[in-house]
Amino acid sequence: MPDAKLQSVLSSLSQQASELNALPSTWPVPDARCVKLDRNENPFALPPPVMQSAVAALERQYLYPQDDNISLREAAAKAYGLCRDQVIAGNGSSELLGLIYKAFLSPGDAVAMVSPGFSFNRKLATLQGAQFLEVPLSEAYPLPTKQLLFGPAKDAKFILVANPNNPTGTFVPVADIEGLVAQSNRLIVLDEAYVDFAPDNALRLVDRYSNLLVLRTFSKSYAAAGIRVGFGFGHPEIIGRLRNLQNVFNMNVIGHAVGISILSHRVAYEENHRHIKSERQRVSVALSQLGFSVTTSHANFLLAQVPSGKDGTWWQVSLKRRKILVAAFPEDGLENCIRVSIGTRPQMDAFLAAVSDISDYDLQT
């Protein structure tokens, strides 16, 4: 029989929450023997001084973290040439995205995103009861400025652009980003999660345009995905309002310590970044020789269209059987693609060996 109490409770959910299915109580745990190339993680160890800061922070585990992340915000402001009031620190940039949706959207509003993009944004829009508009990328027009400003997205409360983009890895010249920001009187949220692998960044535009909010994370280029450190940079009035929406003690003492230390030791990551760029090129060439069509990437991953005859999900499953994890996508236009993160050379050798093995055997049967 249906549980009357449960049905009563569920009927009290907000309209937005009721649209989301309950998550299962457990998720499959990846085999520890797998080569994990599905989450765009940076697999290298923290530099010794950064690791030491994390260990030292454990000695303060009995204290609440610093309110309003003041020291971390000051360190980021100094590192990036801004003032403290232009910086918000978050439990990863995903927390900051959630704050932006809460601050700017009411039920019935619209938000626009260059697509394909970070799928988490769809859920955030649903939670606010907002319409989620996706403006497709085009090879001919890397940034669909006219469609964002004057097309169906013209009434969106804010516009999301990722540069480099995920999952394509493509990069739009900063001059094009500036053109969009200059022509719009709406908030432009520029996600630069992968920008340390790209040729340029737009942080210099923050002082020029009050309607630009730049997001960064230490998850990708600084190998701190499990520690959760992210930043937003923008006008003090916008940043101050977002900070006022944050949960109390939103970050922990390890995140504070590691974030400050990374900002002081960014030069220690230069070899890490050179390796990923070099491996990105090597793997791109190798995949092309194996029949894949690889999108030129400026991130720490590659999007590759698989050889004809099978789709991306088939390749994902076939690689998983060989203990290699990659991402596949059900969205229209991406169903024949896989996305592979760039890891260590042994990891990428194992991936290429598995792809070659599949090409030699599985595709022949």
The domain limits of the chain are: 30-45+270-364, 48-264
Tens of pLDDT, residues 31-89? 778 999 999 999 999 999 999 999 999 999 999 999 999 999 999 999 999 999 999 99
Instruction: Kindly report whether the peptide bond that precedes residue 164 is cis, defined as omega within 30 degrees of 0.
Output: yes
Q: Where are the alpha helices (DSSP H) in 81-151?
A: 93-104, 120-127, 145-150
What is the CATH architecture assignment of 48-264?
Answer: 3-Layer(aba) Sandwich (3.40)
For the segment 273-319, what is each residue's pLDDT rounded down to a tens digit? 999 999 999 999 999 999 999 999 999 999 999 999 999 999 999 99
pLDDT band at 2 (very low <50, low <70, confident <90, very high): low
CA dist list (Å): 132 to 3, 120, 224, 329, 334 = 34, 11, 30, 19, 19
- The three-class DSSP label of residue 223 is coil
The model scores a pTM over 0.75: yes
Q: How far is CA 162 from CA 47, 99, 166, 172, 215, in A?
A: 28, 17, 7, 9, 9
Whether residue 167 has a cis bond before it, omega within 30° of 0: yes
Homologous superfamily of domain range 30-45+270-364: Aspartate Aminotransferase, domain 1 (3.90.1150.10)
Q: Helix 345-360 to helix 270-289 angle, to the nearest 10 degrees? A: 10
Tens of pLDDT, residues 88-116? 999 999 999 999 999 999 999 999 999 88
User: Looking at this protein, which amino acid is placed at residue 283?
Assistant: V
287/339 Cα distance (integer angstroms):
12
Mean per-residue pLDDT over the chain, rounded: 93
